[in-house]
Amino acid sequence: MKLIRTIAVAGLLLAAGFAVPRLCATEIPQAERRSGYTFMSPDTKAIQDDDTANPGMLWVLDGEALWKRKTGTADKACADCHEDARASMKGLAARYPAYDKTLGRPVNLEQRINLCRAQHQQATPLPYESRDLLALTAFVAQQSRGMPITAGADPQLEPFVAKGRDTFMRRQGQLNLGCTNCHNDNWDKHLAGSAVTQALPTGYPLYRLEWQSLGSLQRRLRNCMTGMRTQIYDYGAPELVELELYLMSRAHDMPIETPAVRP
Q: Which residues bind another protein (CB under 8 A)?
A: 47, 50-53, 55, 57-58, 61-62, 65, 131, 135, 209, 212-213
- Closer Cβ to another protein, 63 or 203, answer by number: 63
- In this complex, which beta carbon is closest to another protein, that of residue 119 or of residue 194? 194
Q: Which residues pair with 106 in a beta bridge?
A: 99
Q: Are 140 and 85 in contact (CB under 8 A)?
A: yes
Minimum CB distance to another protein, residue 125 (Å): 19
Ranges assigned E (strand) in 10-157: 98-100, 105-107
Q: Spell out the residues 6+ positions from residue 64 whose beta carbon is closer than 8 angstroms to its own.
A: 85, 139
Helix H or strand E segment including 208: strand 206-208
Q: How far is the CB of 139 from another protein (least distance, A)?
A: 12
Q: Which of 24, 78, 116, 224 is catalytic?
A: 224
Rg of the chain (C-alpha set): 19
Scored b (16 or more CB within 10 A) or e, 111-128 reads bbbbebbeeebebebbeb
Bond before 97 cis per omega within 30 degrees: yes
Query: Which residue number, 65 or 162, has a Cβ lying nearer to another protein?
Result: 65
CB of 100 to another protein, least distance (A): 30
**CB 58 → another protein: shortest distance, Å?**
4
Residue 81 annotated to the active site: no
Q: Are 203 and 188 in contact (CB under 8 A)?
A: no
Nearer Cβ to another protein, position 97 or 205?
A: 205
Residues 202, 214, 128, CA angle at the centre, nearest 5°? 95
CB of 73 to another protein, least distance (A): 23
List 100's β-bridge partners, or say none. 105
C-alpha distances in angstroms, 54 versus 60, 108, 172, 192, 240? Answer: 10, 24, 36, 26, 27
Nearer to another protein, 58 or 232 (CB): 58
Point out the residues that are catalytic. Answer: 224
